Amino acid sequence: MDEHRPTIRRQLTRIVLIPGVSFLVLWAATAAVETYQAGSLLLSVAHGRDGIAAFDRLADDLRSERRLTQVHLGDPDDARVRRALEDQRERTDAAAQRAHGFAAGLGSAPQSEPLPGTRAFAPDNARLDDVRAAVDDGGAGRSTALNSYSDLVDATAAATGALLRPLERGASLPEAELARRLATAHEQFARSDALLAGSIAAGGMGYQETAHFTFLTASYRDTLADASDDMSGATLRRHESLVASNAWSAAERLSRSVVTRPPVADGGEAAWNSEVGVGAREWDRAAGAAEPGLGAMASAQTDRAVDSAWNAAVRRLAAGAAGGALTLAAGAAAIYAAIRSSRRLTARLRRLRDDALALAETRLPAITSRARSGRSVDVSAELPRLDYGGDELGQVAEAFDTAQRTAVGAAVKEAEIRRGANRVFLGIAYRNQTLVQRQLRMLDEIEADEEDPRSLRRLFALDHLATRARRYADNLIILGGAGSARRWREPLPLADVLRGAITETEDYDRVRLTSAPRARLSGAAVADVVHLLAELIENATQFSPRSSTVDVNCGRVSGGVAVEVEDRGLGLTDQGYAEAARVLGEPPEFDVMALPEEPRLGLFVVARLAARHGVAVRLRPSPYGGTSATAVIPDHLLEWAPAGVEPPPAAPADLAEHRSGVGNGHGERDGRG
């Protein structure tokens, strides 16, 4: 038994295994994706924690350098501030190097920029150095320096935001959003602190600086007011501690006094008041204590977002692993139970198969053979019933009993109908052939007495039509299983056979016989070979343009003589050639009840005649367009003339036969040549 042959058991197993395994694979893929996403989130959280700390440190150093730069630009002669600025620049460079090293280690973004905003701190980027150089040589004022440093702080915020973005999944989304809002409020406070510290050092604040300071203070107040409702845990505690501290209250009071300072009267007219009214020491004490508290609150919220994302990733990883294990166990149990059930079912099916094969391989062929041979058959007595209970399998066995009885009964009936149809075919064909033979004899008598050339041509045309009608009657005889009524007792030259086949077609004047070897065809095969070639030639003339010619070539080949009929028509499709090869290779049993809507009886006739005499017929595409039909007549049907010896000419009666279309090799009027 072929181990790879499909069986019911295997199919039942597949029915169970394919959905089960597919479900398991789908679940495994889903679990793998979920695990991968959870692992990626864990990795992102781990990297994010370190990266956020590094960029927060860098942002704090940049804010400190920005504030000292503002104070330095406000009072360039203060040596203490200058030394503090130099020290802070070194700390900022170290923080920038650490942050860029961390970002470069991720290596996830193109163009050598692992995270947004980190290019500004690359070793080959002179952006920070350019800002410092402009400050040192006096090319940048306080406003320009403030904006330049603020842009650098925003770059760190972009990197921090990129690290926070993976944390915005699931439950950590509100936490990460709140951390971003608090970081923005922290930056706005620090920027307003640097702006006011520089103005105090410069001894005054202009209108634009006052407007900018007002905007910054209003912005962080609004942000904190909106975010206070969303705070919880450590963030809320730090916020409450911050707003309750004296430093925050002092910073708020001083900043409001700067914003609400009244104008000065100059000669009775109001003028812009550039006096800040706040001392440097007083502001440094208040802002220096409030700004770290605000940063600590933002950091606490960032830590909360990171912890929330970490916990969510751990929960997803644990849920995926537990669900995968549970599904795997359930799927394995279901598959095991299904396989056991399929084994019991296939055992019964195997017994049913053995019983059915015993009937199909022994009893049914014998019964069908007796029915086709015409002997009587008692279907009920010949076929035993299969009893397999009352379940679905028993119903299948009962249905098989019914089907085999119906099939055998149909085969018996079909054999009877086919024998009757063949008898009808043969009766009609023989009667038609007798009438056509009588008609041909009368035409020969009329032709012999007619002297008018015009009338004689018409009689020849009528004679040609009668010849074709006789060939069509022969088709019915051949399809009915009988032999042709025409006989030749002596061999006939192959050239005369070819000419006789051409004259039996409708458009014989379009056919060109280009060559014929010097050989004779056995008399027993003359009628059938002429009929076979006539069918091929007529098919070529019917399926090619009327203005084109059909070439008939004949030549000796290995094993016999090849007759090639080539037209220049449309040809057949690949499917048509394949179907023709199937019919010609294995002639089917002719059944009038199974004919298609447009039957091509000529192909059946050619197949029957070719099989009768061992003639190989093949259809293939012609290189000129159309179809090329080749018929190879075997050597055992041929007689070859010795080299240099002309074959004897055909008898006068034979030549008359091929001219007018009647007679045989001995002048008898019983068939066509």
Closest by Cα among 249, 130, 150 to 198: 150
Amino acid (one-letter) located at 27: W
Give the relative orientation of helices 8-74 and 79-106 as an angle to the nearest 10 degrees.
170
Coil, strand or helix: which one is 2? coil
pLDDT score for 87: 92
564 confidence band (pLDDT: 50, 70, 90): very high
358-383 pLDDT, tens digit each:
777 777 777 777 766 656 666 666 66
pLDDT score for 445: 75
pLDDT score for 157: 82
183-240 pLDDT, tens digit each:
888 888 998 988 888 888 888 888 898 899 899 999 988 998 888 888 888 888 988 8
Q: Residue 563 pLDDT more than 90? A: yes
Q: What is the mean pLDDT of the chain?
A: 77
pLDDT score for 80: 92
- HSE (side-chain half, CA atoms, 13 Å) at 57: 17
User: In which residue are the tokens 């790879």 written?
Assistant: 4
End-to-end CA, the chain: 56
Cα–Cα–Cα angle for 485, 489, 495, nearest 5°?
95
Interacting residues of 13 by C-beta distance below 8 A, sequence separation 6+: 338, 339, 342
131 confidence band (pLDDT: 50, 70, 90): confident
Cα–Cα–Cα angle for 283, 284, 285, nearest 5°?
90
Rounded mean pLDDT, 399-413: 73
CA separation for the pair 330, 106 (Å, rounded): 41
Give the relative orientation of helices 453-479 and 523-542 as an angle to the nearest 10 degrees.
110
Amino acid (one-letter) located at 42: L
10-52 pLDDT, tens digit each:
676 777 677 777 777 777 777 777 777 767 767 767 766 777 8
Strand order from edge to edge, sheet including 511-513 = 511-513, 550-557, 560-566, 627-634, 616-621
